[in-house]
C-alpha cells in the first residue's frame, strides 16, 4: 500500500512494531525517531546518510549576517525552522541580534511551511507568511507572483542548496543575499549506510524511513556506487516499505521510481504513526494449514502463538514459499537466500525450517521440481 495516507490507529502500543526491522537514515532528531520506533517493539538499524554540520566556527554565517544588515533586504525568504533558530542563536552570541531583528522587521518575510513560520515568530517577527507549499520553489514563486520582482531579496538556505531555485531567484531579483546557518556533510567513513542499503536490497529490512530530501538523495547515490541502486529501488517499491516525512523528502524517491507512504501532516509524530499503521496493520501475514495458524510479523514467526526462532536463511525460505501459490523451484529458493548456498545446503536449511515450525505436512517436497507451502493466506 503506497501513497499519502492518514495515520489512524493506536500508535502507542508497545508491541505494534514487534518483529519488524526498520532502517533510519536521518541524523538530526534521529534519536527521537529511533526511541519512538523501539518503544513500539521495532528493531532499528541506524545509518545516517548525511550529517548536519554547523559552519566552521560560525565565521561565514556572521559575515553573511553583517552583509545582510548592511544591505537591508526588502524581502526575506526562510526555508527551515532549524536554520532560523540557529541563525539567531549565532547572531545573538555575536551581539548582532538586535540589528538583525531591526532589519528583518522592515522586510516582508515569507517562510516555507509552519515550522519555519513558528521559528520566525519565536524570534519576535510576527508578520511571517507561510507559502502554499512546503518547498523552496514555492518561496521563489512568491517573488514571481506577488509583484516583488526587482527587489533586494535575502534567502536563508538549508543544508542542501537547491541551485535551480536559487538561479530562478537571481533572475527575478535585483540582488540576492544568502545566509547558510548549517551544511549537510558526509558522515565519517563507516560501512553503516552500505550495510543498511544491502540489507534493504536483500529484503532483510521491513521499512526504511527518510526525513530529508538530501538524505534520500545520498542514500540513492550510495546505492548507485555500490551497484545496488536497481535492487534497492525494486525492494523499496515492493517488499520493503519506504516512508517519507513529507512531499519534499519524497520527491527524490519518486524520481527514482519509488512511491513512499507520506503522512498527511508532515511531522515526525505523524510519520511514526503512519509506519505503525502500515507495518502493524497491513504487513502482518497469517497462513492457515488445517487448524494451525502461522503468523509472520517482519522477522518474527509464531505457530499457534508459539514463538519460532528462524535464522535469515530459514525466514527467507518460508517467505519465498509463502508468496507462491504453486511449487517453488530449488533455483528460485537458492536465489532468494541472503547467503550463497548449493543444492545440498538448501536441503539442510529446508530440513531445519521444517523442524523449527514443527507442523507436519506444512512444507512438501515435489520430486524434481522443488517445494510447496501447503497453506492459504488469511486476509483481513
Q: What is the CATH classification number for the domain harbouring 244?
A: 3.40.50.10090
Q: For residue 44, which phi and psi values (nearest 5 degrees)? A: -110, 135
Same domain, yes or no: 331 and 230: no
Strand 300-303, strand 306-308: pairing:
antiparallel
Same domain, yes or no: 200 and 318: no
At residue 54 the predicted structure's pLDDT band, cuts being 50, 70 and 90, is low
At residue 5 the predicted structure's pLDDT band, cuts being 50, 70 and 90, is very low
Of 151, 228, 229, 201, residue with least CA distance to 23 = 201
Taking the C-alpha atoms of residue 212 and residue 150, their distance in angstroms, rounded to an integer, is: 32
Same domain, yes or no: 143 and 193: no
pLDDT at 293: 94
At residue 2 the predicted structure's pLDDT band, cuts being 50, 70 and 90, is very low
* Total domains in the fold of the chain: 3
Taking the C-alpha atoms of residue 195 and residue 226, their distance in angstroms, rounded to an integer, is: 10
Domain termination residue (choose one: 250, 282, 314): 282
Domain termination residue (choose one: 251, 282, 313): 282
Domain termination residue (choose one: 282, 308, 325): 282
Contacts of 214 (CB under 8 A, 6+ apart): 49, 50, 159, 160, 184
pLDDT over 50 at 53, yes or no: yes
End-to-end CA distance of the chain: 14
**Torsion of Cα atoms, 352 then 358 then 363 then 367, to 10°:** 60
pLDDT over 80 at 311, yes or no: yes
Same domain, yes or no: 163 and 260: no
Q: Are 156 and 76 in contact (CB under 8 A)?
A: yes
Question: Which of the given ranges, 83-87, 229-233, 293-297, has the highest pLDDT on average?
Answer: 229-233
Q: Is 269 exposed, middle or buried (0-12, 13-18, 19+ CB in 10 A)?
A: middle
Taking the C-alpha atoms of residue 124 and residue 43, their distance in angstroms, rounded to an integer, is: 42
**Across residues 143-163, what is the average pLDDT?**
86
At residue 349 the predicted structure's pLDDT band, cuts being 50, 70 and 90, is confident
Same domain, yes or no: 139 and 260: no
Same domain, yes or no: 152 and 233: no
Residue where the block lists cell 508459539: 306
Same domain, yes or no: 342 and 299: yes
Same domain, yes or no: 62 and 32: no
Backbone dihedral region of 113: left (phi > 0), alpha (psi from -120 to 50 degrees) or beta?
A: left
Q: What is the mean pLDDT of the chain?
A: 88
Of 121, 87, 170, residue with least CA distance to 130 = 121
pLDDT at 13: 59
What percentage of the chain has pLDDT greater than the value 90? 52
Q: What is the CATH number of the domain that holds 336?
A: 1.10.10.10
Contacts of 176 (CB under 8 A, 6+ apart): 153, 154, 155, 166, 169, 170
Contacts of 325 (CB under 8 A, 6+ apart): none
Same domain, yes or no: 163 and 79: yes
At residue 55 the predicted structure's pLDDT band, cuts being 50, 70 and 90, is low
What is the total residue count of the chain? Answer: 380
Number of other CB atoms surrounding residue 174 within 10 Å: 11
Same domain, yes or no: 170 and 70: yes
User: What is the residue range of 353's domain?
Assistant: 284-378
Same domain, yes or no: 15 and 132: no
Strand 370-373, strand 363-366: pairing:
antiparallel
At residue 295 the predicted structure's pLDDT band, cuts being 50, 70 and 90, is very high
Same domain, yes or no: 246 and 210: yes
pLDDT over 90 at 193, yes or no: yes
Q: And the C-alpha cell for 39? A: 518503544
What percentage of the chain has pLDDT greater than the value 70? 93
Amino acid at each position: 500500500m503506497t501513497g499519502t495516507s492518514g495515520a489512524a490507529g493506536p500508535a502507542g502500543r508497545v508491541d505494534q512494531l514487534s518483529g519488524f526491522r526498520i532502517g533510519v537514515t536521518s541524523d538530526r532528531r534521529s534519536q527521537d525517531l529511533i526511541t519512538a520506533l523501539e518503544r513500539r517493539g521495532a528493531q532499528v538499524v541506524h545509518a545516517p546518510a548525511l550529517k548536519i554540520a554547523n559552519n566552521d566556527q560560525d565565521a561565514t554565517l556572521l559575515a553573511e549576517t553583517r552583509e545582510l544588515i548592511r544591505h537591508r533586504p526588502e524581502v526575506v525568504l526562510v526555508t527551515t525552522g532549524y536554520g532560523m533558530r540557529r541563525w539567531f542563536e549565532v547572531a545573538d552570541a555575536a551581539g548582532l541580534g538586535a540589528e538583525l531583528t531591526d532589519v528583518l522587521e522592515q522586510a516582508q518575510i515569507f517562510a516555507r511551511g509552519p515550522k519555519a513560520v513558528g521559528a520566525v515568530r519565536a524570534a519576535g517577527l510576527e508578520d511571517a507568511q507561510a507559502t502554499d507549499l512546503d518547498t523552496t520553489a514555492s518561496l521563489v514563486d512568491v517573488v514571481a507572483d506577488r509583484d516583488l520582482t526587482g527587489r533586494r531579496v535575502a534567502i536563508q538556505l538549508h543544508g542542501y542548496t537547491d541551485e535551480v531555485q536559487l538561479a530562478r531567484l537571481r533572475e527575478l531579483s535585483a540582488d540576492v543575499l544568502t545566509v547558510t546557518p548549517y551544511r549537510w556533510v558526509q558522515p565519517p567513513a563507516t560501512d553503516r549506510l552500505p550495510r543498511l542499503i544491502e540489507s534493504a536490497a536483500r529484503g532483510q529490512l521491513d521499512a526504511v524511513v527518510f526525513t530529508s530530501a538530501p538524505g534520500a538523495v545520498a542514500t540513492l547515490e550510495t546505492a548507485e556506487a555500490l551497484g545496488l541502486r536497481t535492487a534497492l529501488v525494486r525492494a523499496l517499491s515492493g517488499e520493503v516499505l519506504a516512508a517519507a516525512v513529507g512531499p519534499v523528502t519524497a520527491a527524490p524517491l519518486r524520481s527514482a521510481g519509488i512511491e513512499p507512504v507520506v503522512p498527511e501532516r508532515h511531522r515526525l509524530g505523524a510519520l511514526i504513526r503512519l509506519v505503525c499503521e502500515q507495518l502493524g496493520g497491513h504487513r502482518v501475514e497469517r497462513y492457515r494449514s488445517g487448524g494451525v495458524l502461522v503468523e509472520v510479523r517482519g522477522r518474527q514467526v509464531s505457530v499457534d502463538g508459539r514463538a519460532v526462532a528462524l535464522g535469515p536463511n530459514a525466514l527467507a525460505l518460508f517467505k519465498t514459499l509463502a508468496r507462491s501459490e504453486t511449487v517453488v523451484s530449488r533455483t528460485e529458493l537458492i536465489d532468494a537466500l541472503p547467503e550463497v548456498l548449493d543444492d545440498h545446503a538448501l536441503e539442510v536449511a529446508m530440513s531445519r525450517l521444517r523442524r523449527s515450525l514443527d507442523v507436519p505436512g506444512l512444507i512438501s517436497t515435489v520430486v524434481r521440481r522443488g517445494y510447496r507451502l501447503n497453506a492459504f493466506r488469511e486476509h483481513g
